[in-house]
Amino acid sequence: MSLSLSLFLTFLLFPFLSFATPLAFYQHPSSPATALFRRQNTSLPTVGSAAWTALYPSESGTPTTIPQSWLDALAAAENRGLIPSISQSTLDATTGVTTYPDGQDPTGTEVCSFTYQCNVTTDIVNPPEGVIALTFDDGPIPGPSDTLYSFLYNNSQHATHFMIGVNILGAPTQFLIAFGNNKDHIGVHTWSHPYLTTLTNDQVVSELGWTVQIIHDSTGGLIPSCYRPPYGDTDNRVRAIAEHVFGLKTVTWNQDSNDWTIGEGTTEEVVEGSLTNWVVNGGGVQGEGLLILEHELMDTTVQAFMGIYPSMKEKWTVKTVPDAFSFTWYQNGNSSTTPAFPLSVASPAPTSTSTPRAPTSTIKSAHTSTVTASASKGSMAQTGSTSRITASHLLGLVALGMTSVTLF
């Protein structure tokens, strides 16, 4: 679909839409994070233009080009003992389940794989009682996302969208609606939607980093605060890379709607029944709120949400993820309506003799997976106006400040 046709269809759904340009951002040279923002937004191409598209990887799958500053940050974290030595998992293409070699226990405290429903204490998973943290994965996608964004806008409802980098690249109009018009919260869902635990450390950095990059460049310099692993496939190695290279919190879920399997083994009625059980009948985690895995992947997944939304508003307080868990929307911004603010660097930095942090793990239940390898669907509370970042992930974000003439 051409960009002009996409815009025409969008204005049919959003008749009063006025695209907000990315927020202006400028960091004073005295800021300790000036290197992050040498690329001021006045030098960036318009979001959706050919020049903007040319800034990002065009290859399919995990990008093979990785900025050296990200690799330097990864090496610094590894040298400080912050990245656990956990083997890459292997994906069973039939079941969609990842397994580990050498007898490593995916449910143990060393690995703690969320594929097996293991959460660590720093995972974002259980909102306060009475609160729904509203999330949608896999956007933006022309069609389903347009319908969803129009519905959210008309109901004055903000949500967290965990977006795929290549989808932002392919659907900039929809991205600008979610961020610029709706002022919704944008999180990271990797560049190409892989099983993260099957990747090398460098590949994990590439998947997260390029998504952070395109969000940063297209929002006026805002740096995402959190990511959600595709298929929920994360472990303590991936968590540590996300945290220590890019400062990202790990967001999982406490209920899985399985909405993305509608038409592939699940019916709309089954999904709607699950949502009704949790939202209306109180069938979720006792004493906790709801963080439901939902998708803006297809018309049917969006319809399932829109059908249950009136009950959500009647019985619950519905918030974005950062609002539900009381941390800032972005590492350097309080919302999608306020400019980026300077980052301060945490001190002192870990020494080379530091030992990895060993977060407490919790197992919710035995894992039963219904995902397939062919599917392409694509605590840490922080408040106030200043984020603190470690020296290692400052290095990882330095490449965000390069000029638009010479990338990395």
* Ramachandran class of 221: left when φ > 0, alpha when ψ lies in -120 to 50, beta otherwise: left
- Encode pLDDT of 201-217 as tens digits: 999 999 999 999 999 99
Look up 137 and say whether it is catalytic: yes
Say how far apart CA 167 and CA 148 lie, in whole Å: 16
Q: Is the pLDDT of residue 386 over 60?
A: no
Residue 361 has what pLDDT? 67
In a domain, 310, yes or no: yes
Domain count for the chain, please give it.
Answer: 1
Residue 238 has what pLDDT? 98
Domain that residue 277 falls in: 27-401
Q: Is the pLDDT of residue 17 over 50?
A: no
Say how far apart CA 93 and CA 108 lie, in whole Å: 24
CATH number at residue 233: 3.20.20.370
Please identify which of the residues 137, 138, 184, 259 carries the catalytic annotation.
137
Q: Is the pLDDT of residue 48 over 60?
A: yes
In a domain, 14, yes or no: no
Look up 323 and say whether it is catalytic: no
In a domain, 2, yes or no: no
Q: Is the pLDDT of residue 380 over 60?
A: no
Q: How many residues does the chain have?
A: 408
In a domain, 320, yes or no: yes
Q: Is the pLDDT of residue 40 over 60?
A: no
In a domain, 8, yes or no: no
Q: Is the pLDDT of residue 312 over 90?
A: yes
Give how far the C-alpha of residue 364 lies from the chain's centroid of Cα atoms, to the nearest Å.
22
374 versus 259: the higher-pLDDT residue is 259
Q: Is 210 helix (H, G, I), strand (E, B) or coil?
A: helix
In a domain, 13, yes or no: no
Please identify which of the residues 158, 193, 216, 295 carries the catalytic annotation.
295
In a domain, 92, yes or no: yes
Confidence of residue 363 (pLDDT cuts 50, 70, 90): low
Q: Which two tokens stand for residue 284?
A: 């979720």
- Encode pLDDT of 313-362 as tens digits: 999 999 999 999 999 999 989 999 988 877 643 323 333 333 334 456 66
In a domain, 250, yes or no: yes
